[in-house]
Amino acid sequence: MTGFGIPRPEVLEARQKLVLDHFRDEVAQDWDATLSTFPHPHYEVIATMTVHDGESAVRGYYHDTRTAFPDQRHELIALRHSADAVIVEFWLLGTHLGPFGKLPPTGSKFRVRMTAYFIFDAGENLVCERIYFDTLSLLKQLVGGIDKRKPKNWLLLVRLVRGLLAMTGEQPDRRLVETTEPAGLTGPGSPAPG
């Protein structure tokens, strides 16, 4: 590592290759290849406050998201390196053709800007993909494509509102909210050291 804790260039190149292979395999829906990038698959989706831990849970996540958005794909914006992660900004695109959680399909297309942190352990194993995005941006596009003046769409709108209301009662995964501040760091509202 360098003085700032950034790994050597060959480590960064290996991480970047793994992450780009992971992205490519997700778009191709080659789940075996995608899962092979992790020793233990683990996704954290911050916008929905959900964790998908282990091969079965991650396969379920892939199944559910590709049922909702069968043409889901990415457009990379930027890729950055940190001491223990590759950080990728990208557009996620797709068409809402199946149920998305409790939301019925709308047929709407979406394009949402996202950030994913691919986190590596000390042995250079991918241990987590942590995804951030603005839920409202996605929902506006899924619902915004519906012609609300047509009576035939009113039932769909009612079902969407019911689905959204049902989702607001879901509890966040405790692993995402019960966090502790790293040792040696202080910030606004933190007591000063000493």
Domains and CATH numbers, the chain: 9-171 (3.10.450.50)
* Confidence bin at 145 (pLDDT 50/70/90): confident
At 2 the pLDDT is 40
How high is the mean pLDDT of the chain?
92
Calpha distance 87→89 (Å, rounded): 7
Q: Give the residue-averaged pLDDT of 99-106.
A: 94
DSSP code, position 47: T
Residue 43 has a CB neighbour count (10 Å cut-off) of 18
Q: Give the residue-averaged pLDDT of 162-184.
A: 86
- Whether the model clears a pTM of 0.85, i.e. scores above it, the answer is yes
Residue 76 has a CB neighbour count (10 Å cut-off) of 12
Q: Give the residue-averaged pLDDT of 45-52.
A: 96
Residue 112 host element (H or E): strand 109-120
pLDDT in tens, 76-94: 999 999 999 999 999 999 9
At 168 the pLDDT is 83
Residue 22 host element (H or E): helix 9-27
Give the tokens for residue 70. Answer: 């069968």
